A and B are shown apart, each in its own frame.
Chain A
Amino acid sequence: MPRPAADLRPAPLAAEPMLPRAFRVAARRRETHDVFTLELEPADAPGEAFAFEPGQFNMLYVLGAGEVPISISGDPTRPGRLMHTVRAVGGVTRLLEGLKKGDSLGVRGPYGAPWPVLDAEGRDVVVVAGGIGLAPLRPLICQVLARRDRFGRVSIVFGTRSPADILLAKDLERWRSKFDVDVLLTVDHAPPGWRGHVGVVTALLPRAAFDPANARAFVCGPEVMMRFTVQELAHRGLPAASVHVTMERNMKCAIGLCGHCQYGPEFVCKDGPVFRFDRIERIFGVREL
């Protein structure tokens, strides 16, 4: 509201929405040669649980180096430490990889539109992940399995580069051991002795059992992998409105102010990163958008 003109005070600033909060590394685990998981807690409130919804992400800040968007990979049904599973690819993620127990970093979030898990209740669930794309899907899988009886058939289709690139291996093992979850795993290349499947994820999709009239698919991975996956799902009769995908764009603010994450009319940080596929279908195939 405008203040009286005679007021000589400078206008006060409201809280800075891009201010991170200090967190500490409570535990770290190596997943593969380039993927690791961090468990984090607030520096000033170690026991405090981090509330979020599956599919949401945080901005992680390394002192002086920069800030990167990383999805939350924890189990939302068991509130506790904040968990991130990261692939070290460049400047900031390599520094995150070097953090040790007790080290400090900045966190702000959670941001973004979540996977609509409730909408999948009463239906078959198909989860399709490529590489590090399994990390943002882990909270969804945890939530579905925590209320297993509310869903129909559940399949998890996961493809990665090689057997050495299988992240969250313990989780995959645990899910695979359940009689009411179908875990389908494939690698692009395998050394001799690998007894599993070799090939792209789409080659495994025909094995996922679902009723196209009553199913929801959740897809996260590289853009090409998602393109072939949605094509295959459509081929199996699943309408675009039953498929959710995540998009990735450069992000500087994560709160809708910096313009970097624009994807046609969408802001990936606030309208996404999870999109119902029919919403972006028209622009999904457009190059360099």
Chain B
Amino acid sequence: MSKHASPTLPAPVLWTRGDMDRFFETLRKEGYQPVGPTLRDGAIVYDTLSSTRDLPVGWGDEQEPGAYRLRKRGDEALFGYVVGPQSWKQYLFPPRRKLWSADRAAGGLEFKPSAEAPPKYAFIGVRGCELHALQVQDKAFLEGPYADPYYRAVREGSLVVAVNCGTSAATCFCASMGTGPKVERGFDLALTELLDGGQRFVVEAGSARGAKFVDELSPQAAAPEDLAEAARVVERTAATLRRKVEPGGLRELLARNLEHPRWDEVASRCQTCANCTLVCPTCFCSTVEDVSDLTGEHAERWRRWDSCFTFDHSYLHGGAVRASAMSRYRQWLTHKFGTWHDQFGVSGCVGCGRCISWCPVGIDVTEELAAIRANDLGKDGEHAHP
């Protein structure tokens, strides 16, 4: 986890692609496991990286509601795409993790917590929206009355290497959510890839932990022209963003529109497949599974990702509270954009666009919110024009 920039942090430096490879070696020497974007099965996913060659070199992506495609960029860019179907939460909040095991012993049941300690990760290529998603999940996993010990260990042990976006997808709406494309805080190192005039990287330290790498690799300081070009890269990206959410008053808007006809309309398209919640970098729901061996003397409790789109999520003896697709879509959207503010003081959406691209029928949260805003049923349940 990173501290705020302090005056003792070194000035930004300029790295070549060769420096980037030396950076990967240094990371491993320091005990970090570098993880980041790589190509697999027609998408850019996150996995262990051994050098810059494992990154999706020269690849870009095109995204639309319900559509994701890779394309060759025609250059050697290391970070020339945006976010794919996965997010960093898979490392902090693994899709499946053993919590404890229990054995029947002479003195009664014996419970043993899972001792498995996480690796020290170096997260390579964390985007502005994703930095915010980490901070949003911190509130759920670390800042309540009980903290998740595994999440805490990963978060505290890992190095966050952010990247300023040099491109955007049609599904991105970070600017309207105030999360990007520029990375502002919460990183150990931040990279901006410059392509005009030869590939190079402006590298900025955001914490003492990150500064160590800048010092150790001791390359040249970034020239004022490089810094100016780095600033232009994010400005140009920001100018390409088309999608947006009007953020003001969303919490109140949704709270007073729980009976809006749009919920039924969107439910007629929603497949309740749970894709949106699984790709969403902030969704934190989980369920537990009990497994036991044949003797019935040994059992384990596992936690795995869950989604409010499943029947079991709201199951009470006798049936599910949220039995209809209408009520499940309403739970998702009102939680992300509304009640998250009540619970954690921030929006649950960071504008990454994943749920829009990976929805099999192309449901677009920005469009759903706009539709509700356009026909606001009014304060205190008064129907304006239903």
Q: Does A47 contact B (CB under 8 A)?
A: no
Do A255 and B104 touch (CB < 8 A)? Answer: no
The contact string, 1 if C-beta is below 8 Å from chain A, for chain B 317-334, is 110011110110001001
The contact size tier of chain A is 35 or more
A5 CA to B157 CA in the complex, in Å? 8
Given A1-B156, A259-B308, CB of A265 within 8 Å of CB of B343: yes
- On chain A, the residues within 8 Å of B218 by CB distance are none
Q: Give the distance to chain A from B137, nearest Cβ to Cβ, in Å.
A: 11
Q: Looking at the complex, which one of A16, A250, A259 makes contact with B149 (CB distance below 8 Å)?
A: A16
Q: Looking at the complex, which one of B99, B107, B109 makes contact with A16 (CB distance below 8 Å)?
A: B99
Q: Looking at the complex, which one of B3, B114, B258, B316 makes contact with A2 (CB distance below 8 Å)?
A: B3
Given A5-B159, A5-B209, A63-B296, CB of A17 within 8 Å of CB of B147: yes
Do B102 and A259 touch (CB < 8 A)? Answer: no
Which A258-279 residues have C-beta < 8 A from chain B? 258-260, 262, 264-265, 267, 270
7 contacts between A and B (CB under 8 A): A6-B31, A8-B30, A13-B117, A19-B99, A64-B102, A258-B303, A262-B308
Do A11 and B327 touch (CB < 8 A)? Answer: no
Beyond the given pairs A13-B114, A18-B303, A288-B321, 13 more chain A to chain B contacts, judged by CB atoms under 8 angstroms and listed by A's residue number, are A5-B212, A7-B31, A13-B116, A15-B149, A18-B100, A106-B102, A249-B321, A253-B286, A256-B144, A257-B144, A259-B286, A265-B343, A288-B323
Do A249 and B314 touch (CB < 8 A)? Answer: yes
Q: Give the distance to chain A from B224, nearest Cβ to Cβ, in Å.
A: 29
Residue of B nearest to A43 (CB): B108
- On chain A, the residues within 8 Å of B147 by CB distance are 14, 17
- Report how many A-B pairs have Cβ atoms within 8 Å: 189
Q: Give the distance to chain A from B176, nearest Cβ to Cβ, in Å.
A: 23
Do B316 and A248 touch (CB < 8 A)? Answer: yes
Interface segment, one of A20-28, A168-176, A196-204: A20-28
Do B31 and A19 touch (CB < 8 A)? Answer: no
Do A63 and B156 touch (CB < 8 A)? Answer: no
Do B157 and A3 touch (CB < 8 A)? Answer: yes
Q: Give the distance to chain B from A253, nearest Cβ to Cβ, in Å.
A: 8
Q: Looking at the complex, which one of B104, B111, B140, B313 makes contact with A19 (CB distance below 8 Å)?
A: B111
Given A3-B156, A249-B314, A260-B287, CB of A288 within 8 Å of CB of B117: no
Q: Looking at the complex, which one of B110, B141, B306, B321 makes contact with A289 (CB distance below 8 Å)?
A: B321
Do A262 and B154 touch (CB < 8 A)? Answer: no
Do B120 and A256 touch (CB < 8 A)? Answer: no
The contact size tier of chain B is 35 or more
Do A15 and B207 touch (CB < 8 A)? Answer: no
Do A2 and B156 touch (CB < 8 A)? Answer: yes
Do A8 and B31 touch (CB < 8 A)? Answer: yes
Do B119 and A10 touch (CB < 8 A)? Answer: yes
Most buried by A among B118, B207, B314, B335: B314
Given A257-B284, A262-B331, CB of A90 within 8 Å of CB of B317: yes
Given A3-B156, A66-B290, A260-B287, CB of A16 within 8 Å of CB of B145: no
Q: Does A65 contact B (CB under 8 A)?
A: yes
Given A64-B299, A255-B145, A289-B321, CB of A43 within 8 Å of CB of B258: no
Q: Looking at the complex, which one of A7, A20, A256 makes contact with B146 (CB distance below 8 Å)?
A: A256
Do A22 and B290 touch (CB < 8 A)? Answer: no
- On chain B, the residues within 8 Å of A265 by CB distance are 338-339, 342-343
Do B314 and A250 touch (CB < 8 A)? Answer: yes
Q: Does B337 contact A (CB under 8 A)?
A: no
Main secondary structure of the interface of A (DSSP, over half): loop
Given A44-B107, A65-B290, CB of A267 within 8 Å of CB of B140: no
Binding site for A on B (CB under 8 A): 1-3, 30-31, 99-100, 102, 104, 107-111, 113-120, 140-141, 144-150, 152-154, 156-157, 159, 207, 209, 212-213, 255, 258-259, 284-288, 290-292, 296, 299, 301, 303, 306, 308, 312-318, 321-324, 326-327, 331, 334-335, 338-339, 342-343
Q: Looking at the complex, which one of B120, B145, B342 makes contact with A270 (CB distance below 8 Å)?
A: B145
Binding site for B on A (CB under 8 A): 1-24, 43-44, 61, 63-67, 89-90, 104-106, 248-250, 252-253, 255-260, 262, 264-265, 267, 270, 282-283, 286-289
- On chain A, the residues within 8 Å of B317 by CB distance are 89-90
Do B285 and A260 touch (CB < 8 A)? Answer: yes
Residue of B nearest to A8 (CB): B31
A150 CA to B58 CA in the complex, in Å? 77
Given A17-B147, A288-B323, CB of A10 within 8 Å of CB of B118: yes
- On chain B, the residues within 8 Å of A64 by CB distance are 102, 290-292, 296, 299
A64 CA to B299 CA in the complex, in Å? 5
Given A250-B313, A289-B258, CB of A259 within 8 Å of CB of B306: yes
- On chain B, the residues within 8 Å of A283 by CB distance are 258
Q: Give the distance to chain B from A6, nearest Cβ to Cβ, in Å.
A: 6
Q: Give the distance to chain B from A263, nearest Cβ to Cβ, in Å.
A: 9
- On chain A, the residues within 8 Å of B2 by CB distance are 2
A15 CA to B291 CA in the complex, in Å? 22
Residue of B nearest to A17 (CB): B146
A66 CA to B288 CA in the complex, in Å? 9
Do A11 and B120 touch (CB < 8 A)? Answer: yes
Do B306 and A258 touch (CB < 8 A)? Answer: yes
- On chain A, the residues within 8 Å of B321 by CB distance are 249-250, 288-289
